Amino acid sequence: MSSEAVPYIIAPMRADDIPQVLTIEHLSFPTPWSAQGYEQELRNTLATYWVLRPVPPRAWGGVVRQPPPVIGYTGYWLIADEQHISTIAVHPRWRRRHLGEWLLLHAIADGTARGATLVTLEVRLDNEAAQALYRKYGFEVVGQRKRYYRDGMDALLMTLFRADSPEVQERLAMRRQQVARELARHTFTPAMFASGPHSSEEGARDEDREQPPSE
């Protein structure tokens, strides 16, 4: 199934998306980033950020506001051939819909298309659900950073090696098709659009994003 059948769109993050991004940010992470931080990231030539929006059915006409609300986002740095995923989050009311996974797939596909050969990310030691998701895609734990997050929690450093290899790309493409089929079955109600962003999956998080990864 093509991604065109998926009732969601992923588009580059813009400055006017930041207020909605911050709403999700504060609901998803114990130490949220600031508006100024996101503004800085959007000016960072090494960084790429995306937002996720639901697409209302055409039959609704003008029932919902345009554009639809931001319900998730992801971002990464690309330095030489290393892609570092800095954040993934989905609004809590859109959780358990495979949307965090869809964002991860998009980020990896975009990074490898631009020359990444390995993908890295940090994940909280206590976020077992996110760790399980990354392991499913072939990420391996390669280190642990003590008290990495501002609340004192350790971070696991996970890496997907040979991300551009035919084997990995085939595995990711197959999973993308599976997730697309799941997403194509999603249904919406006007109420889900009326009050702004709705459900979320917490994911990778780099708390100290002021400096890009040094390696």
* Residues annotated catalytic, as ranges: 122, 134
Q: Count of CB atoms within 10 A of residue 104's CB? A: 27
Q: For the chain, where are the E strands, in sequence order?
A: 8-12, 47-54, 72-79, 82-90, 118-124, 140-145, 155-160
Q: What b/e readout covers 161-189, taking b as 16+ CB neighbours within 10 angstroms?
A: eebbeeebeeebeeebeebbeebeeeebe
Burial of 204 (0-12, 13-18, 19+ CB in 10 A): buried
Torsion sign over Cα 95, 100, 101, 103: positive
